[in-house]
Amino acid sequence: MSAMTLYVEKNSIIHHMDPLTKLMYVFVSIAATYIVPVHEFVFLTAAFSLLLIIIGKVFMKILPIIAISIILIISIIIVQGMFHPDNKTVLFSIGAITFYQEGLSYAVLLTVRVINMLSAFGVLILTTKPDELIERLIKKGMSPKIGYVFLSVLQIIPQIRATMGKIADAQRSRGMETEGSLIVRIRAFFPLIGPVVLNSLNDTRERAIALEMRGFNTKGKKTFLNESREYPYRKIIQFLLIAILMATIVWRVLL
């Protein structure tokens, strides 16, 4: 049973960074590309995010994620290229369709922002164990209940999916058709989803009891099995990130 996580186990300097620093990087790099709408700067930020991905040895994992967003990117290019309100300079025409320079230039900006966003999140998600990230956040004061929800979802959804498979098999063995035309599939949906939902509700109740018995609701201070470890250059990097964010704001104001 694999948990629903995109984390890739590798040994790189990015993997050893503090999850909170990475989380901060996500925010700063995304915010920066919006605060300073200068092509060169946005390109540089995206390139830097991709560089981090490459250092983190997860470049091949980010490619399919970027590929999925191609549809979004293409639609941005078409819409902005043809219809951006500032459109003046005709770049080229294909039959009746005309693309303008201003729109395309803006589309490129948006595209690079999207790629930066995906890469920045990729740095966080592909190189950070979810439990490490959540534990860091809980230690920083996030509610353990919210942390529990995030973590358990990753493991319990695959569990529910497995139950669903079992129920589908059981119903099929009793002669229910689950494959074929759309109508057949829709008809099969309710006898399948009913037991799954009831089953999950029952499991949830039992898990709530189990959590209670493990003292999850105890009010006292929690401790942690994993020691808070010292992350390399944590303070310097976090300081730099904040400085960069400030700098971009100043730049924007002066622009």
Give the residues lining the site for another protein (CB under 8 A): 1, 3, 129, 131, 147-148, 151-152, 155-156, 159, 203, 206-225, 227
Shortest distance, CB of residue 145 to another protein, whole angstroms?
Answer: 11
Q: Is 173 buried (19+), middle (13-18) or exposed (0-12) by CB count in 10 A?
A: exposed
Shortest distance, CB of residue 170 to another protein, whole angstroms?
Answer: 17
Are 62 and 126 in contact by the 8 Å Cβ rule? The answer is yes
Of the two residues 71 and 213, which places its CB atom closer to another protein in the complex?
A: 213
Beta-carbon contacts of residue 150 (< 8 Å; ≥ 6 apart): 130, 134
Of the two residues 174 and 214, which places its CB atom closer to another protein in the complex?
A: 214
Look up residue 99 and give its DSSP letter: E
Query: Helix (H, G, I), strand (E, B), or coil: what is residue 216?
Result: coil
Of the two residues 10 and 39, which places its CB atom closer to another protein in the complex?
A: 10
Q: What CA–CA distances, in Å, run from 123 to 27, 35, 99, 119?
A: 12, 21, 35, 6
Of the two residues 56 and 147, which places its CB atom closer to another protein in the complex?
A: 147
Of the two residues 201 and 246, which places its CB atom closer to another protein in the complex?
A: 201
**In 3-state terms, the chain is what percent helix, strand and coil (to 5)?**
70, 5, 25
Shortest distance, CB of residue 127 to another protein, whole angstroms?
Answer: 16
Which structure tokens are listed for 81? 């290229």
Angle between helices 39-55 and 19-35 (to 10 degrees): 160
Shortest distance, CB of residue 167 to another protein, whole angstroms?
Answer: 15
Of the two residues 161 and 235, which places its CB atom closer to another protein in the complex?
A: 161
Q: Can you say whether the dihedral through the CA atoms of 107, 113, 114, 115 is positive or negative?
A: positive
Shortest distance, CB of residue 160 to another protein, whole angstroms?
Answer: 11
Shortest distance, CB of residue 222 to another protein, whole angstroms?
Answer: 5
